[in-house]
Chains A and B, each alone.
Chain A
Amino acid sequence: MKKVYLGAYNCVSPIGNNLTETWNALVKGKSGAKQVTITGMEADICAALVGEDELNGYFNKLLREENLYTSTGFTKLEKLMIAALIPVIKTVTITQETTFIVSTTKGNIAYCEPEEKGSTAASLPALAQKIGDFFGFKRPPIIISNACVSGLQAISTAKRLIQMNYCTDAVIVAGDLVSEFVLSGFKSFQALSDRACIPYDEARQGLNLGEAAAAIHVTGQQLQNHPFSIAGEASINDANHISGPSRTGEGLKRSIVSALAEAKLEPNSIDFICAHGTATIYNDEMEAIAIHRSGLADKPIHSLKGYFGHTLGAAGLLESIISLECLRHNLLLPSLGYQKQGTSLPLAVIKALSEQPLKRCLKTASGFAGTNTAVLFERELY
């Protein structure tokens, strides 16, 4: 099978307007989670938001700098996606063979009225087409909406599309907002923490929602200064429960084992794991079991949710590009807030920033409907 490489990538997150700002904030241990009050909801909750004014200022500045004049109005999500994409698109020659992939769970749902008939406000195809047209993609967009694995599965899908000669390269954008829609829903599940989330920790109380967009170029050609490739990947369903994670971690374990098998690698060759780690008891427990069953219990592991919150359809891609930055800098980022084991099986959760040679990272994600994805990233040049 053809080898598939990762090109330029970028993000807009609650802790930075671009990748450089976000990385610098991560290294300083900055969290984007803050107390917010939402109309209609009784208690304050904690979420990681991108400031609207700051985003507007940054977005307009970017458009000016890049001479991207437009009379079109954009929603907050569209601005996030476009701002994430601009530096990536600058490195790409968009041809007939370039596919545009959009990952999102709820798109522009914040702009949808309850009684709306045949709503276009929340249409995912309309959103993807609008962003695709802005950058001049020649093919209709491919939209992946497979719950919280969407962003990570978009990378594995791009790899597969290139391997099956469906396209030569793909540009992915992944984004989701913190809307009242998702806040009220997760609140009704009693899954939200009222303070910054602490994945895998004994004192964890649940998750924080977050909003972000991330973008990456995936290609069949190795590019200069972009030493990363996808060694293996898989997305296997638990077939167990639509909202509760599997008690045996079966789907995640199978995804990891299958990704390793494709890469023809042993568990021991993994340097660290960037896991899903939402900080809900059921998710963290499921992951701990799956990671033990995959023979990876001793591998350094972190969740980035303490920095960004759970950014839903953006999470898998946002966290992947941060994993690539960890590989690039040979730096292991701590799992923010973690102090004491909170899963029945121990994990080697990273507690402090540490520098060491890194070559391979396993990125995992899991979500509603029993979805799981595992992708193995590898540095080509050492």
Chain B
Amino acid sequence: MEQLYQISRHCRMDTQGVYRNGEQISVEASPDFASFSKSLYYSLGTSYPKFFKMDNLSKLAWLGAELLLKDEQTTNIAIVLSNRHSSLDTDLKHLATISDNEQYYPSPAIFVYTLPNVCIGEIAIRHNLQTENIFFVSEQFDSQLAVNYSNYLLNTKRAEKVLCGWVDYLQENYKLVLYLVEKTGILAHNLDVVRQLTR
């Protein structure tokens, strides 16, 4: 008989607001993601200057992970993230630096973020997670895959907990849903619940 797991914490972030475990977190009204992310960063009270060097996708993922893992003790947490637009927001910025032969200035600081899983790296560095990790890309969140994959990591004892979810950013449109799967929690870890959370 397979072990059943639970969701211990979850959060959601989009243009409608920020929610942790279903409760809205008030963030100063902001006209764009740059100011919104900065407000939320300061309200979380973690000093992490590297945050300001990140691209928007990594900022979004970092903030979501901070909401869930700020006071987490274990570091044996696998990371399974996915999105639709890969790193396209930053890809377009890198393309702009090489579109004109007269002004050709590709930058390593931009180019390094032209992979979607760099946001996993940022979370891993912040929370010291030397763990299993993977980034999937799909049109919509694949709940079946996410539930199966998380269960597998826990069943095979490759991780004690799994940080799983969706983190998508393209030109001011963004959506993040993250949840933590472990032995005990506040919600059952099954297909229906995960579908509900990530809708």
Q: Would you list 6 pairs from A and B whose C-beta atoms are within 8 A, ordered by A residue?
A: A140-B138, A143-B137, A160-B152, A184-B111, A189-B112, A237-B121
Which of chain A's residues has its CB closest to B104's CB? A40
How far is B188's CA from A342's CA once the two chains are assembled, in angstroms? Answer: 53
Stretch from B32-40, B63-71, B125-133 contacting the other chain: B125-133
Interface 9-mer from B3-11, B18-26, B142-150, B189-197: B142-150
Q: Identify which of residues 73-113 in chain B touch chain A, using a CB-to-CB cut-off of 8 Å.
A: 79, 84-86, 88, 91-92, 94-99, 101, 104, 106-108, 111-112
Q: Determine if A119 is an interface residue (Cβ-Cβ < 8 Å).
A: yes
Q: B84, B121, B151: which contacts A370 (Cβ < 8 A)?
A: B121
Also in contact, A146 and B133, with CB within 8 A (given A109-B91, A113-B95, A242-B122): yes
**Is A124 part of the contact surface with B, judged by Cβ < 8 Å?**
yes
Q: Does residue A265 face the partner (Cβ distance < 8 Å to B)? A: no
A251-B130 contact in complex given A109-B91, A125-B138, A370-B125, C-beta closer than 8 Å: yes
Could you tell me the distance in whole angstroms from the C-beta of A41 to the nearest C-beta in chain B?
A: 7
What's the nearest-Cβ distance from chain B to residue A180, in Å? 6
Bound form: Cα–Cα A180–B94 in Å:
11
Task: Find chain B residues with CB under 8 A from A238 CB.
Answer: 124, 130
**Could you tell me if A184 and B106 are in contact, using CB atoms closer than 8 angstroms?**
yes
Residues of the A chain whose Cβ atoms lie less than 8 Å from the Cβ of B170: 118
Whether a CB of chain B sits under 8 angstroms from the CB of A136 is: no
* Chain B positions within 8 Å of A345 at CB level: none
Task: Say yes or no: A143 contacts B138, CB within 8 Å.
Answer: yes
A161 at the interface (CB under 8 A from B): yes
| Contact of A166 with B145 in the complex, beta carbons under 8 Å | yes
**Complex Cα–Cα for A144 and B80 (A):** 11
Chain B neighbourhood of A140, CB < 8 A: 138-139, 142
A153 to B145 alpha-carbon distance, docked (Å): 15
Is there an interface contact between B99 and A188, defined as CB atoms closer than 8 Å? no
Q: Encode contact with A along B131-172: 1 for CB under 8 Å, 0 otherwise.
A: 111111111001011001101100010100000000000110
Q: Which residues of B contact A237 (CB under 8 A)?
A: 79, 120-121, 124, 129-133
Whether B91 pairs with A160 at a CB distance below 8 angstroms is no
